[in-house]
Amino acid sequence: MYFLLTPSRVLHRRDSAANRQKRASDWWNLDISVVVAMALHVDHKATIIDGKAIAQTIRSEIASEVSTLIEKYGKAPGLAVVIVGHRKDSQSYVSMKRKACCEVGIKSIDIDLPEQVPEAELIAKVHELNADPNVHGILVQLPLPKHINEEKVLTEISIDKDGCIELLKRSGISIKGKRAVVVGRSNIVGLPVSLLLLKEDATVTVVHSRTEDPESMIREADIVIAAAGQPMMIKGSWIKSGAAVIDVGTNAVDDASRKSGYRLVGDVDFDQACKVAGWVTPVPGGVGPMTVAMLLKNTLDGAKRVIGQ
């Protein structure tokens, strides 16, 4: 004696031949449905958010608006770029940002301070820049020397001169009412992005190194902002089907096949995420190109609120 199991009941072998034939047909149809569903899942490919293209569009828009502002009021937006010390990587980043200002017509106000500048003096300089009507944006290049509390300095910068989540908006991704999980709680990304998402009416959860069972929290998210600094930490199985994944992480991992001996990866396993997510940013080429573009945009926005009033 044997039994044929179905989702709803157990059937004895002495059923009629007609019933057995019908059941065989039903199971065949079910198997075909499962196979098709699995194939669709395997073939799924997330929309890749092209940070380079979006950044270039933003820069072009900024250049046009700055030109109009200068023509109408005779005044250009001003970005104060503050660097402390002589780190080569920081010098390179600052040089790139100053060049970007020049390309779109924004005035770069250069503040170069010595490595041993007292914390109080740096904060006093930030206060001075906050009060300067010709300064519409402030960038303090990180990292700062060890004797300076970065958090204390950054909190002194006027809130009107900081932050944006343009990638989501430009990609047509709705934020209002959505569940968002920010992975990481740094002062540079995690906390500011959490506040910006709240401002856009998302329901926000912050996952950090002491969070229990982070996978289950991330799996519930419609929007994932990955900023933990851990290479490929977030696996495809952690991501909700159709979610938007913004990968802020930039991590170097060994790769003998590359001339440099390494390659850059994000905090998300990109290949796995592409099979599940609705949208995902690559690393490199996602959030990175947006950094300078948004810095310029925030400066322009600050200027538009002040110039002409």
The amino acid occupying position 40 is: L
Per the annotation, the verdict on 97 as an active-site residue is yes
Measured distance CA(96)–CA(111) in Å, rounded: 15
The helix/strand/coil state of 183 is strand
CA-CA distances (angstroms) from residue 58 to 139, 141, 153, 260? 19, 22, 28, 31
* SS3 of residue 111 by DSSP: strand
Amino acid at site 79: L
Out of 141, 161, 178, 240, the active site residue is: 141
Q: Are strands 107-113 and 78-84 parallel, antiparallel or unpaired?
A: parallel
> Is 64 a residue of the active site?
no
Q: What is the DSSP string of 78-106?
A: EEEEEEES--HHHHHHHHHHHHHHHHHTP
Catalytic residue among 97, 125, 178, 297: 97
Provide the β-strand partners of residue 88: none
Residues 105, 135 contacting (CB under 8 angstroms): no
Residues composing the chain: 309
3-state helix, strand, coil in the chain (%, to 5): 45, 20, 40
Amino acid identity for residue 73 in this structure = Y
**Catalytic-residue membership of 22:** no
| Residue among 52, 75, 90, 186 flagged as catalytic | 90
Q: What is the dihedral of CA 162, 166, 168, 169, to 10 degrees?
A: 120
Active site (catalytic) residues: 90, 97, 141
